[in-house]
Amino acid sequence: MAWKRNPAPKSVYRRQLSARLKELREAADLTMAEAAQDIEINPGTLSRIESGERGTTPVVVKAMLDRYDVKDTAVREDVLDLVRADQAQKQKWWRKYSAVINTTQYGGYLELEASATSMRSYEPQLIPGLLQTADYAGKVISAMRMDLDAKQIDALVTVRMNRQAPLGGDNAPKLWAVIDEAAIRRMSGSPAVLRGQLQRLLEVEPRTNITLQLLPFDAGFHPGLYGSFMLMGFPEPNPDVVWVENLTNSVCFEGAEDVGRYTEVFDHLRATALGPPETRSRIKSMLKEL
């Protein structure tokens, strides 16, 4: 899968850290060259730290804070906490699946998803990965990735199931999913898988952090016909991003104009879709049909 823009998304902590360090340097009225010389690091290294292209260490950041004359203990600890959090996020739970992740170019998305506080998903053909059962995920992955063997497929199913854990934990991110009716009707040839998947949707939907809406066939044409996308939100001051994936490209958009257009489309889709209570009733009706 080819990549376009941001092949290795920065952690949400590094985004905050880089902006904070630049702000403190400018408040000290130092140019980047002056600061780099005094701290005794390469100007290019300092530039990459401030842009978030590379991480850093508490030792280097303490030297920066000393040079920027930051004496407030609370401020210093907040900045150092960001350094530690960025380093901790390098220990990703999916690292043991690196062989299959690298094969599918999946890591960039997982990095963003793991630090998101809110997610807005539109899926016209599939149940969102965060709501899939293992049986459903196995059928979807094996159908879509004919280049993978059974072991790789099983590994990706495990990764997909592990991704769902934060939705039921403390400080769970919010998920708002709009699913086209076609995603459910497409499973009619596998009644056992369909039954399990519909029951799964009914189980997760009552959670306060999950909002589920079904976009019925009779909604007609709509702006989501371009395809699926995921909008992800992060703590301030980090901007929202939108992730779009297709057969050959995965694209992460950060620009305000791009994110704004996808946000507008999502708002239209959720206004057009069945409300959560009606969605629940429709899913129950589909179960009865089975």
Question: What pLDDT is attached to residue 104?
Answer: 54
Question: What pLDDT is attached to residue 1?
Answer: 33
For tokens 């060259």, the residue is: 33
| Residue 45: count of CB within 10 angstroms of its CB | 15
Question: What pLDDT is attached to residue 7?
Answer: 38
pTM for the complete prediction? 0.71
Question: What pLDDT is attached to residue 249?
Answer: 64
Q: What is 29-86 written as a DSSP string?
A: T--HHHHHHHHTS-HHHHHHHHHTSS---HHHHHHHHHHTT---HHHHHHHHHHHHHH
Question: What pLDDT is attached to residue 245?
Answer: 83
Question: What pLDDT is attached to residue 101?
Answer: 60
pLDDT tens-digit profile, the chain (290 residues): 333 333 345 667 788 888 899 999 999 999 999 999 999 999 999 999 998 888 899 999 999 999 999 999 999 998 998 888 787 666 666 666 665 665 555 657 887 888 889 999 999 999 999 999 999 999 999 998 888 899 999 999 999 999 999 998 888 999 999 999 999 888 766 888 999 999 999 999 889 999 999 999 988 899 888 899 999 998 877 788 999 887 766 778 888 899 999 999 999 999 999 999 999 999 999 998 87
Give which of 17, 224, 18, 13 is closest to 117, Cα–Cα.
13
CA distances from 102 to 134, 164, 169, 185 (A): 21, 20, 27, 32
Domains and CATH numbers, the chain: 9-88 (1.10.260.40), 100-131+167-289 (3.30.870.10)
6 Rama class: left (phi>0) / alpha (psi -120 to 50) / beta: left
Helix axes 58-67, 32-39, angle to 10 degrees: 120
E-state strands within 151-225: 174-180, 210-215
Residues 189, 190, 194: CA angle, nearest 5 degrees:
115
Report how far apart the first and last C-alpha atoms of the chain are (Å, whole number): 37
